[in-house]
Amino acid sequence: MTGPVPLVICGPSGAGKSTLLKQMLDKYRQQFGFSVSHTTRNPRAGEEDGKAYHFVTKEAMESAIGNGEFIEHAVFAGNMYGTSKAAVETVRSKGLICVLDIDVQGVISIKKTDLNPNYLFVKPPSIEELEKRLKARGTETEDSLSRRLEAAKKDMEYGDAPGNFDLVIVNDDLSKAVNTLENFLQTAYPALQS
């Protein structure tokens, strides 16, 4: 593969990954690109094939996985999701830093490849704070909230384990978290300093 090494960003839902990424992309939009993931779920209203996701059949995805075309893949809520080698290569071939926003399962898969990205984990200050953030969204049922919090506890254990990530950011103060992320990125990707 050519181009800069990818950036893997991971963390529980509600930790603030999207907010941090948006801040960085506002500043460094020309240097980053996102790989478009594949999924077997149906498109939602307004989602375009090839932009939001590559929407494929279960059979096509299983075949591509069997052929070794995926860096990582997982099943979530009965649907398959994954990152293809081609999607990452498309971004890197443009000289961009490919951002992969994936879950812990995906991180574990990527660690078994030769991709060798920079790994970043974003976590909330506490499970209690995460619960407040998720409730504030107003999108969770009691059942889905408890499932997300259980998953978050496991994710945070993996995120805190030494050697799993190059940087763990506790997102308790957004401007501090942004500064920490920016310092890390400028060290990992010297081209961002110019």
Task: Judge contact between 100 and 88, C-beta under 8 A.
Answer: yes
Catalytic residue among 29, 92, 147, 148: 148
Residue 30: band (very low, low, confident or very high) from pLDDT cuts 50, 70, 90:
very high
29 is catalytic: no
Which domains does the chain possess?
A: 7-193 (3.40.50.300)
44 is catalytic: yes
Rounded to two decimals, the pTM is: 0.87
Catalytic residue among 29, 41, 44, 92: 44
**What is the predicted pLDDT for the residue at 116?**
92
Residue 132 has pLDDT above 80, yes or no: yes
Residue 78: band (very low, low, confident or very high) from pLDDT cuts 50, 70, 90:
confident
Residue 52: band (very low, low, confident or very high) from pLDDT cuts 50, 70, 90:
confident
Tell me the per-residue pLDDT of 169-180, one tens digit each, with 9 for 90 and over. 999 999 999 999
147 is catalytic: no
- In this structure, what token pair is assigned to residue 129? 């704070």
Average pLDDT over every residue of 77-101? 92
Catalytic residue among 29, 92, 137, 147: 137
